[in-house]
Amino acid sequence: RMDQALLLVRNELPAPGLRLAARSGSCHQCLYQFLAFVPPSNGSLTKPGTASVMVDTQHPLTLMLNSSVGDRELCKIQYHFGEFGNYSLVVKALMANTETVSCELIINEGPINSYLPILFAFLVYMGILAVLIVGRLFMKIDPVRNWVYKKLNPRETDRLINSELGSPNTTDSINCDPAPHSWSTASRQRLHSLDTFRGLSLVIMVFVNYGGGKYWFFKHESWNGKLHFPSALFSRFVFIMGTSIALSLSSMLRWGSSKWKVLRKILWRSFLLILLGIIVVNPNYCLKSLSWDNLRIPGVLQRLGFTYLVVAGLELLFTRADSGTWEAPYPALQDILPYWPQWIFILMLEVIWLCLTFLLPVPDCPRGYLGPGGIGDFGKYPNCTGGAAGYIDRLLLGENHIYQHPSSSVTYQTTMPYDPEGILGTINSIVMAFLGLQAGKIILFYKDQHKQIMSRFVIWSILMGIISAILTKCSKEEGFIPINKNLWSISYVTTTGCFAFILLLLIYYLVDVKKLWSGAPFFYPGMNSILVYIGHEVFENYFPFKWKMQDSQSHAEHLTQNLTATTLWVLISYLLYRRRIFWKI
């Protein structure tokens, strides 16, 4: 199977038998897991005792061979097996009548290079990009451009649309001319970098949710771990939602909307997001009526909806229509000082998270436990998955109403249900959105001052990085608070916030400052993000997004299917954009 290799263990020792156990390199402080019993050779070198096992190839393994009598450790080998490889582990005595044992690993058949499909896919997409660049160069030729414009006849679009989580515009002055503008003028006014940022995160999220070619590095970390694509996607989506909140609320208030009217809109959007989320994460609605007995309550859209409600409500409570003209005694802090009550509120929320996480008594678990349970921590706390976060969800929501198959269930063999979108982690998603809100305020306060905006993005990125380094001690497992996406730990928020500021800085510079990139193709799904997200969840198992494979153990086929499905959603969002169809909430 994918991510597996065949290991044949040959026992040439006359007696006794051997016990083979293994531990994954990704499993921190885990118990060794029994794999096979290898019988003795009974003194015959021509017929050694043998046993065949499948071993994992995603991470390095530590193999341990113990004697079946007395459980004496004979040898220990650390090795990273290759996918579909065929290996032999030969165990024999170095000399006659000696207890010194030799364990030799032999490659019978080399593994395949499972990463070649990624290289091929990269070259294909680079080829498409090259064709588009050449086409754009041709468009600079007047006769070609005039002919294309006559055929396409583009219409005004940007003026008529709002992002479903905010309408980021740089022209927020109440004195702006509300009359229709040309296509090109509207495009220049809109901050395409925000839609591009959102669309980039969404496209990668869709690809990962569809399977990511079944590659291990496109899966979420089992528990604590370094950040890669899947681990940071949702947090970036939350971040840019906060940025859009700052700009959209400022725009609505400047155009004369009352706070009560804006509040009703915030409440309605939040309700719809939570309702849609409950429907999406309980797909049996297509087959039969939903049953409360096993209805999952938390989810991605639910957390987005509640986070949006809190952060947008907090911003509405303290924002002013003329906030851009406020004179601060310290100009360097003019995007912070006017909103000191908001910062106090966020700090109080974080204190609540810290107190609940580290002080709440959890039955049969150590106080402040942040581990995965299962076989982690040498199997001492098998039912403590998530510590206080898991306990609160099980207590308030019930075990049947949270996620039943957490990412820790494979590596750490946890049996307790745990929801990565649970109640306690929502506090830190609010903090993440508030960091995005701060990015939006920077754009508002330093409107059209590109150097100021980018320098403050850099400062915030450095600040978040320093906090992360302190909390984690620059270590995966040994920090005060490790980076953990399942828990949405504060170190996870500061680390992903650090990279979110950097990414927004780069996209803002390329798209809105230098205009070296239009934001395509990510700009289009970013304009219809809720439709694309819900659509890819609802139609996940339908053609043409999924089809029966000839070889379900092929990374190439899975990658082809997942990339095709993701590309189709990008094309759909582009067609919807051309036809001015936008699903707003």
Provide the annotated active-site residues: 220
Torsion of CA 42, 45, 49, 50, to 10 degrees: 180
Residues whose CB is less than 8 angstroms from the CB of residue 199 and which lie 6 or more positions away in sequence, other chains included = 519, 521, 522, 523, 524, 525, 526, 527, 529, 573
Angle at which helices 490-507 and 450-472 pack, to 10 degrees?
Answer: 150
Q: Which two tokens stand for residue 338?
A: 């006017």
Tracing tokens 């169809």 back to the chain, one arrives at 581
* Cα 497 from chain centroid (whole Å): 13
Residues whose CB is less than 8 angstroms from the CB of residue 121 and which lie 6 or more positions away in sequence, other chains included = 559, 560, 563
Residue 451: its H or E element: helix 450-472
Give, in order, the Cα–Cα distances in Å from 541 to each of 59, 270, 346, 449, 535.
Answer: 29, 28, 40, 47, 11
Other C-beta atoms closer than 10 Å to the C-beta of 522 total 25
Nearest CA to 370 among 495, 473, 491? 491
Residues whose CB is less than 8 angstroms from the CB of residue 533 and which lie 6 or more positions away in sequence, other chains included = 202, 205, 206, 300, 301
Asked if 467 and 431 touch (Cβ cutoff 8 Å), the reply is no
Residues whose CB is less than 8 angstroms from the CB of residue 576 and which lie 6 or more positions away in sequence, other chains included = 524, 528, 531, 582
Tracing tokens 């959007």 back to the chain, one arrives at 269
Asked if 12 and 92 touch (Cβ cutoff 8 Å), the reply is yes
